[in-house]
Structure 1
Amino acid sequence: MTNRRSIGAVILFSMIIAAVFNFRNVINNYVSIGTLAAPIFLIATILYFVPFTLVIAEMVSLNRSAESGVYQWVRSSLGGRWAFFTAFCYWFVNLFYFISLLPIVLVYAGYMILGEEWTIQPWLIAVLSVAIFVVATWVSTKGARWIGTVTSFGSTLMLVMAMLFIVAAVGALLGGITPANDLSPGGMRLDPNSGLTAWAFLGTLAWIIQAVGGAESIGVYLNDLKGGVRAFARTIIVAGVAIGLLYALGTWLMGVFVEKSSVSYSNGIFVTMQAAAGHFGLPGDVVVRVVGLIMLVATLGGLLIWTSAPVKVFFSEIPDGIFGRRVGARNQQGVPVVGAWIQFAIVVPLLFIPTLGAGSSINDLLKIVTNMTAATALLPPALILIAYLVLRVRFEDTVREFRFGSRRVGLAMSVFLLAVFSVAFVAATFPEGQALWLTLAYNVGGVAIFLGAALLWYQRYLRRLRALSPQEAAAELAPTAPLRSQENTLALQADRDAQGPRAQDPVAPA
């Protein structure tokens, strides 16, 4: 294990907030399905985010010496082939996330500078996004301390703004304001006259799952965290509950100031905040600029997290023979610099593809890329859950500091989550109202080409490895849980010896 302990629980909490919580997710889902998103957020937190963070905590506990996170988690129960495929998926789907994140940076910058929506062609947004991504890639190679500083500031501003909005909305309700939307349970239903079908709702469900996702990206910073596995598990669970409550309450209170029909994906947060400011007699133009600044800083913090973490996941610990030693080489901060710039080179052409189907509307562009991002974002956690399912079935006796309940609880929850993922993924991949050519070329074709190429590339590596050493090839495909169990036993014994004769064995019985 490395000895880089440079960040504490507060910084980790802020990094989780930056990677997961974004008021834009509140806006997107309110625009799509109204206040119905509030209870769905709460349900998603209870039934998905909290259980999934416990799964992540157990995987981290099992692989406490791993640098990359996802790759080693999956390899522990499924072996090298599926570990590589999962790491590739996690990195690959993140490429699409950039396509939705980078354009919104420009939208927020426009509101901060102009105080109103910036009318800009989608193709120009793609060009400017490339320039932003150059800077983000360079900063992301500076390690957790640099990223933590930026994200801590941005996430703090985001949380303060979210809490002020919640307090203002509650205050307005107590002051007798007539809500713009029906906030009763009856108002949180799928309106048959809204034009939103059940299939479209299931597609939006993928957006909500994605909104409370991202916890797995923080696993790569375990070796940077003071306090180790226990501090990681405690911090990530607390952050998950806080994020879910913020999402649910924030979405419900959106209906206090603005009607669903008056907001869009690009202007929703500004229209809402301006309406709230007007209710309390505050200057709306100033509030809009301040909100633009906050959203810009917070979004840039999230951009740095997602520029760095997936690169570490994919390039840090995959075998050198797959892409070459130089591609996976890490700097002193544990970041594969060459891999980060390869990611940049791939993202650049992907930025321009959605503009072909977006016409001249930034909202159409944001809807296309958000939908595609939500669909592909379900792939990595689904594969992690499959690996976890196999872990509890085949390797229940492996030694680890933390377990997600009994074997029966772990198995039942992973099966349930996989079923939900499957339905949401199909609905989001084939959204209603999107041009068929765009769905086939971008949603289906892009995924098939990239994932197929990854499997063929790995098979090429495996053939070469078998020719050199059949034993090494067999070891590459074998699960590493037994090896991790031995490592953890020695590490836990060392911890007990360091703590003295009263130290207790923290490993839960199988």
Structure 2
Amino acid sequence: MEENKRIKWFTVSMIAFSMVWGFGNVVNNYAQQGTSVVTSWILIMVLYFIPYALIVGQLGSTFKDSSGGVSSWVKETTGKKRLAYYAAWTYWVVHITYLAQKPQSVLIALGWVFRGNGNVATNMSVQTVAIISLVIFLIFLFLSTKGLNTLKFIGSLAGTAMLVMSILFIILAVAVPFITPGFEAATPDLTSASTYIPDFNLGYFATISMLVFAVGGAEKISPYVNAIDRPARNFPKAMIFMALMIAISAILGSVAMAMLFDSNNIPDDLMANGAYSAFQILGNYFGVGNLFMIIYGLANAAGQSAALAFSIDAPLKILLNDADPEFVPRWLRKRNAKGTLVNGYLLTGVLVIIIIILPIFGIENMSELVKWLTNLNSVVMPMRYVWVFFAYMMLVKQAKKFNSEYKFIKNPKIAFVVGLWCFLFTALACILGMIPKIEYAANPGSWMFQLASNIITPFVLIALGMILPMIAKRERAKGIE
């Protein structure tokens, strides 16, 4: 690539920031940790996210011509097609819980836009929400089979708007004390360092998975590594600058949330309604009523809708477009006359419907449902990141075999230790994240349901991926390819 056609490091940094970050990360983690999340953000950036992003950089630089992402990295570094299949399966199947939550997010956003309050998330029964979410999902599942380029374009614009609103929230919240005489922050002692120190107990460590979930997805940056000018010098600079931007956004955003919501008395519905309530409060301070909230709600509804459509379609194609008949049965690879992966969409639909309906048997209200599904996602989604670190460890074990324009750590032994740290940290975060975030004494039935579903769901999703090669083997034995 000619030097004048290469992307500047600052541009890559901004692209990566928009891929990884969102205002929901601030709200969800503040809802779990309160002001102590400020310290958590600093720790997670230094100890996990910066190494994660730089590891992705080396993998992307080494395998710049690989189209399969993480599964290609695993295949190239191990030579094992079965492991590559499991990596691809994990990348796809973790989106099931993600897809199950999106219809509720759309429903809540539209509720705020048209009703101006969070009654959808506080008053609507879980059964009603399940039915409406099911209808929304089935509509988007059908539309995904038809192609949704327009909606994806709208979603891209909405994503940009959401990023702008995230930054605007911080600016507005910081400005409030200067324009409102006598303003008092909802959380006391915000100037005291002790306010931001976590209580490092089991309950705290059970929330780490949400932080990992928030900063995950750095593997999306990999295509840009070799496009940057002077990757060896400028890619680390881009990633560290991105991490700095995320850290500043997370810290200032968390402090801004503390100004509006008391960290010592966090509302039960903050995960569901916190972002909208925050913009509504700021709108009242600035004399524009619900304007900020409506803009955010519309952008979020469009963005969540596009994410729903895209996350049905894209991961499925990654799994099945070049699926190996040795591991993926013919019935799952089946296409109709228009080339649509009909049974792939059917399998997606069945699994998502199960997750949507499941809360009816153990969740009592919508706010609890949002918290449970968000936490379940924080357990399931990071499972795909362990393959990134596994591929990196396999790469540095064969350092002399592979060449890359950018290397994170030149010493293979140190590099392996860093990769192992990230691997184990991610796995531990997922395991600890299975612990329910509600008090057992307050609701034993719901606590047991959440614990059981948090443990069983990831194991069932992975086990399904182990069953498919057995079916494929039986097909081959019958002469079916």
TM exceeds 0.5?
yes
Q: Specify the alignment match of 2:293 in structure 1.
A: 288
Q: Specify the alignment match of 2:174 in structure 1.
A: 170
Q: Are residues 169 and 115 of structure 1, via their aligned partners in 2, closer, same or farther at CA, if it must alter by over 3 Å?
A: same
* Distance across 2 between alignment mates of 1:30 and 1:110: 23
Pairing 1:59-458 to 2, within 5 Å after superposition: 59-78=59-78, 79-117=80-118, 118=120, 119-137=123-141, 146=150, 149-174=153-178, 177-181=183-187, 182-184=189-191, 185-190=193-198, 198-217=201-220, 222=223, 229-230=227-228, 237=239, 241-260=244-263, 261=265, 263=267, 264-283=270-289, 285-324=290-329, 327-328=332-333, 339-359=344-364, 361-406=365-410, 407-431=412-436, 433=439, 435=446, 437-439=448-450, 441-458=452-469
Q: Deviations over 1:258-282 (max 9, x none)?
A: 2232532222112222222222333
Letter in 2 for 1:162: S
Q: Give 5+ residue unaligned stretches, structure 1.
A: 1-6, 192-196, 469-510
Q: Specify the alignment match of 1:473 in structure 2.
A: none
* Distance across 2 between alignment mates of 1:187 and 1:354: 35
Q: Deviations over 1:337-359 (max 9, x none)?
A: 75345323321222110232111
Alpha-carbon contact 1:68-1:316 (below 8 Å) kept: no
* Distance across 2 between alignment mates of 1:95 and 1:454: 13
Q: How many residues align?
A: 449
Q: Are residues 230 and 325 of structure 1, via their aligned partners in 2, closer, same or farther at CA, if it must alter by over 3 Å?
A: farther
Over the residues paired in the alignment, what is the CA RMSD in angstroms?
Answer: 3.7
Alpha-carbon contact 1:18-1:151 (below 8 Å) kept: no
TM-score by length of 1: 0.77
* Distance across 2 between alignment mates of 1:218 and 1:344: 29
- Of stretches 228-237 and 392-401 in structure 1, the one that deviates more from structure 2 is 228-237
* Distance across 1 between alignment mates of 2:99 and 2:15: 18
Q: Deviations over 1:295-346 (max 9, x none)?
A: 2223234334433342233223330343346744799x99967534532332
Overall identity of the aligned pairs, in %: 22
Alpha-carbon contact 1:98-1:347 (below 8 Å) kept: yes
* Distance across 2 between alignment mates of 1:287 and 1:52: 34
Q: Give 5+ residue unaligned stretches, structure 2.
A: 1-6, 441-445
* Distance across 2 between alignment mates of 1:15 and 1:141: 28
**Secondary structure at the counterpart of residue 207 of structure 2:** helix
Q: Is residue 45 from structure 1 mapped to residue 45 from structure 2 by the alignment?
A: yes
Q: Are residues 411 and 446 of structure 1, via their aligned partners in 2, closer, same or farther at CA, if it must alter by over 3 Å?
A: same
Alpha-carbon contact 1:112-1:288 (below 8 Å) kept: yes
TM-score by length of 2: 0.81
Per-residue deviation at 1:109?
0.8
* Distance across 1 between alignment mates of 2:383 and 2:436: 17
* Distance across 2 between alignment mates of 1:25 and 1:129: 22
Alpha-carbon contact 1:93-1:376 (below 8 Å) kept: yes
**Secondary structure at the counterpart of residue 327 of structure 2:** helix
Q: Specify the alignment match of 1:481 in structure 2.
A: none
Q: Are residues 335 and 171 of structure 1, via their aligned partners in 2, closer, same or farther at CA, if it must alter by over 3 Å?
A: farther
* Distance across 2 between alignment mates of 1:314 and 1:87: 6
- Of stretches 455-464 and 178-187 in structure 1, the one that deviates more from structure 2 is 455-464
* Distance across 2 between alignment mates of 1:87 and 1:121: 36
* Distance across 1 between alignment mates of 2:53 and 2:44: 12
* Distance across 1 between alignment mates of 2:209 and 2:253: 19
Q: Are residues 465 and 228 of structure 1, via their aligned partners in 2, closer, same or farther at CA, if it must alter by over 3 Å?
A: farther
* Distance across 2 between alignment mates of 1:130 and 1:328: 25
Q: Are residues 324 and 18 of structure 1, via their aligned partners in 2, closer, same or farther at CA, if it must alter by over 3 Å?
A: farther
* Distance across 1 between alignment mates of 2:64 and 2:341: 20
Letter in 2 for 1:71: S
**Secondary structure at the counterpart of residue 323 of structure 1:** coil
Letter in 1 for 2:54: L
